[in-house]
Amino acid sequence: MLSLKRLFQSFTDALHGLGHTFRREQNFRLQVLTGLLVAAMALYFPLKIWEVIVLILLVGWVLTMELLNTAFEYLADILKPRLHHYVHAVKDIMAAAVLVSSFGAAVIGIIIFLPHFLNLFK
């Protein structure tokens, strides 16, 4: 049976998690700002619907990767008293995952937006 109270609490918890990450993680704030810039450019330029969909997916992907990275870092920090030598490696690997997803998103964003920028100067 669907419990509206539990559903509402789930959304509340998720929003608290977003707020916590936004307040404490500089990279997440930068990625949100970048996502807003991408959204503004998507509204300004006459993009095809599939290009807008790809951009939305990419922004969501990068933000999700940063949230996962933050969660893994917090979990690893809890383990610090019993620090295993892999904890540092796990944190680095998660940071690399965010970097790779951000780089891929940037390349695709350039492919989508570059023709529109070039048309501004014609």
List domains and CATH numbers for the chain. 18-120 (1.10.287.3610)
118 pLDDT higher than 80: yes
Length of the chain: 122
- Summarize the confidence of residues 49-68 as an average pLDDT: 98
CA nearest 38: which of 64, 60, 21, 66? 60
Instruction: Show the CA angle centred on residue 18, arms to residues 72 and 44, nearest 5°.
Output: 115
Q: Name the pTM for this structure.
A: 0.90
- CA distance linking residue 101 with residue 58, whole number of Å: 8
81 pLDDT higher than 70: no
For 66, counting Cβ atoms within 10 Å of its Cβ (0-12 exposed, 13-18 middle, 19+ buried), the class is: buried
36 pLDDT higher than 80: yes
> Which range among 6-20, 28-42, 74-88, 105-119 shows the weakest confidence by mean pLDDT?
74-88
- Summarize the confidence of residues 35-44 as an average pLDDT: 98
pLDDT at 1: 79
Q: Are 91 and 72 in contact (CB under 8 A)?
A: yes
| DSSP assigned state of 121 | T
pLDDT at 82: 67
| DSSP assigned state of 82 | G
pLDDT at 86: 79
- CA distance linking residue 31 with residue 111, whole number of Å: 19
